[in-house]
Chain A
């Protein structure tokens, strides 16, 4: 039940409890209770909207930054990650296996703004040994949704046996 609800709202968090109940053959109350429980247990951590900013007038720049750090005794990478994820500019922080340690995704209004953040805030942090910044040129697909203006007109006939 929980898994099925998650699979449904994963791609449409605006769907009503009533519809979820109908789809899963359960009651609205049951669905509401399950969702509440998952919110309380931090299984569901929030609800966000998938926006293609390229189709708006707003300027947005996204950058992916690879960071190498020196892990701290007793605290490993967590403490360093915390110092980074607390910045409002930071969208996501992941601990990585491989050649570097943290991936940080940053959204800003302009390249300048992002650059300033990286040079002034990130690279100057104690324990950060190096950074490599990559600006996103175009988002083709995000969270399973194709963002390009791919023509999705279905060519299915309207009536078939």
Chain B
């Protein structure tokens, strides 16, 4: 029999998170700070709108690019929140989560051998998606001393004549890093000068704690070379609805939409109706969740300090990324022992790139009660390992 598999797919490593997921699933009483989705339920008025759409029999395909009403709301939202102006007719379309948009953007823009600059630590799908789109991932290792922001120097160093795209994953999963307007300006200048395109994954744009998120697409010269990816999962606690969107220049969006049309047809109709309600009447929900996340973030930073766990202060998403370097263990060892000894699951930084070595991703998408319990375990674990060493 012939080999049924593609030589492009088989070498791709499964996500580093998988291993921990498997161990944790076997344990029945593990507690976890390992989740990358909000702990809040989707606000009821949004769910109710989804239900109502079903009652009205809105169970058919929408147009490939999504409901007109939703696209209009998306454009109005981006304009009022981030000063981004897009035409709902041909510069935006609705996707199955931000993930689909990442895949489509890469597939629509890359030819074989094109290099994509990928700052890491970052979300697990960029690298495989680049590879599957025949691109070559070029990793930029973000540094803790830079608070895991991308610097102009690092960017310039990584650029070659083959570089076509820069991925901008801010606010960042797993580090929680954000980039300010000034910092983005430096990056934007290089992109314009070196003629790079940018895929800006702004799925955590509503979750920033030191001022409003700035989209790189809103900076001079960037709109025509940026695909902005965003969605409803994190801001409105709608992960399971699988709904996102991509915005950008018509020439690129048109091609992305072509693949979407053949591969997906359209994003789920129920989710689209619910999302209209989210954008129209969901600002207060977002604000409420942001306040809760920020309180937990403050709480974690304080507790880490007390227990002697080093951590730079992250101002975005719902993750903190403490350093465990001083304990003389790899991230994997630390996380594995923490899970076995204290039954507390966290994700080793290495799941998000080799340069995540020496760090852990800890999510605060948990209630204060859950966080308290988990931090007791973490504190206890740190006490045991430092005692032994002493």
Contacts and interface: CB of A to CB of B under 8 A. Distances in A.
A23 B351 CA distance: 29
A158 B295 contact: no
Contacts of B155: none
Interface in B21-52: 21, 24-25, 30, 32, 34-37, 39
Instruction: Sort chain B's interface into a size bin.
Output: 20 to 34
B37 A156 contact: yes
Given A22-B302, A22-B303, A157 B21 contact: yes
B298 A160 contact: no
A55 to B, nearest CB: 20
Contacts of A12: 368
Contacts of A8: 295
A156 B123 CA distance: 19
Contact of B35 (A7, A25, A160): A160
Contacts of A148: none
B17 A160 contact: yes
Contacts of B296: 23
Contact of B20 (A19, A21, A23, A159): A159
A4 B302 CA distance: 18
A160 B368 CA distance: 20
Interface residues of A, number: 18
B291 A7 contact: yes
B347 interface: yes
A156 B303 contact: no
A98 to B, nearest CB: 26
Contacts of A119: none
Given A8-B295, A22-B303, A158 B368 contact: no
A19 to B, nearest CB: 7
A46 interface: no
B311 interface: no
Contacts of A25: 298, 302
Interface in B347-381: 347, 351, 368, 372
Given A7-B291, A19-B368, A22-B303, A159 B32 contact: yes
B124 interface: yes
A10 interface: no
Contact of A160 (B36, B295, B302, B303): B36
A23 B369 CA distance: 13
Contacts of B368: 12, 15, 19, 23
B98 to A, nearest CB: 12
Contact of B295 (A23, A156, A159, A161): A23
From A4, A158, A161, residue with most partner B Cβ within 10 Å: A161
B261 interface: no
A7 B372 CA distance: 19
B374 to A, nearest CB: 12
Contacts of B17: 159-161
Contacts of B37: 156, 160
Contacts of B35: 156-160
Interface of B: 15, 17, 20-21, 24-25, 30, 32, 34-37, 39, 123-125, 173, 291, 295-296, 298-299, 302-303, 345, 347, 351, 368, 372
17 contacts: A4-B295, A8-B295, A15-B368, A19-B368, A23-B296, A25-B302, A156-B35, A157-B21, A158-B24, A158-B25, A158-B32, A159-B24, A159-B32, A159-B35, A160-B17, A160-B35, A161-B123
Interface of A: 4, 7-8, 12, 15, 19, 21-25, 154, 156-161
